[in-house]
Amino acid sequence: MLTLALPKGRLAEESIELMLERGWLSGRPDPDSKELIFNDTKGKVRILLVRSQDVATYVEQNSADAGIVGWDVLLEGGYDLLLPLDLGIGKCRLSVAGPKGWNLSSGERKVRVATKYPNIAKDFFLKKGINCEVIKLYGSIELAPLVGLSDCIVDLVSTGGTLRANNLEEIEVIMESTARLVFNRSALYTKRAETGEFLDSFALTEKRL
């Protein structure tokens, strides 16, 4: 049995749909259940439901054989993982956003940036030649510029609805992100047959997408 770490929420739902299509699951986990481990009746996959930022850590530390996680999370963390496949799901973009009328050249002082992605944000502003102070937050990022905590934010954008609802606008896209299927090195060695079959089935899905 393969142990697969999935991020809670929409990406888990898309990932489970792919596994149902490829015959790895007999059904979906109960959406009303509070359990964080799902053992499918087919006995082929065990699913761990964790925070998106923790998926790569569970895989890297061998608590899961594989995981599905956004490219943004992988770049931010610099994990030691094998990245065999872009699944093409969970599409979004990591962008700079700020109050309407604000732009990257507004003022000459240090720009204060609120984000869950301090490494990516620092690298982006450094390449732009802009001095910045990064303020790391774990949620409600859009609130920061509204209360004067930051000048702008770096965060994931899908539809842009949350930005508009908070009178913010997207200023520049830093990167596009999709979900990646990742493995730890140990699983590819100790469970060669299972991981090979799993990877092949998802590769077929990628071609279909």
pTM metric for this prediction:
0.85
- Parallel, antiparallel, or unpaired: how do β-strands 179-183 and 82-86 relate? antiparallel
Task: Report d(CA 113, CA 88) in Å as an integer.
Answer: 29
Note the pLDDT of residue 206. 46
Within the chain, residue ranges assigned H as helices are 10-21, 55-60, 71-77, 118-127, 143-146, 161-165, 185-190, 192-208
CB of 77 closer than 8 Å to CB of 99:
no
| pLDDT band of 110, cuts 50, 70, 90 | confident
Structure tokens at 123: 């690298």
Q: Which amino acid is at 84?
A: P
Give percent of the chain with pLDDT exceeding 70. 96
| pLDDT band of 208, cuts 50, 70, 90 | very low
Tell me which of 55-64, 108-117, 121-130, 165-174 is least confident. 108-117
Q: For residue 53, give the 3-state DSSP assignment.
A: helix
Q: Which residue is listed with tokens 């489970």?
A: 16
Is residue 116 scored above 80 in pLDDT? yes
Note the pLDDT of residue 35. 79
Can you tell me the mean pLDDT for 97-102?
A: 92
Note the pLDDT of residue 207. 41
User: 174-207 pLDDT, tens per residue?
Assistant: 999 999 999 998 988 888 888 888 888 877 544 4
Say which residue, 44 or 124, is predicted with more confidence.
124
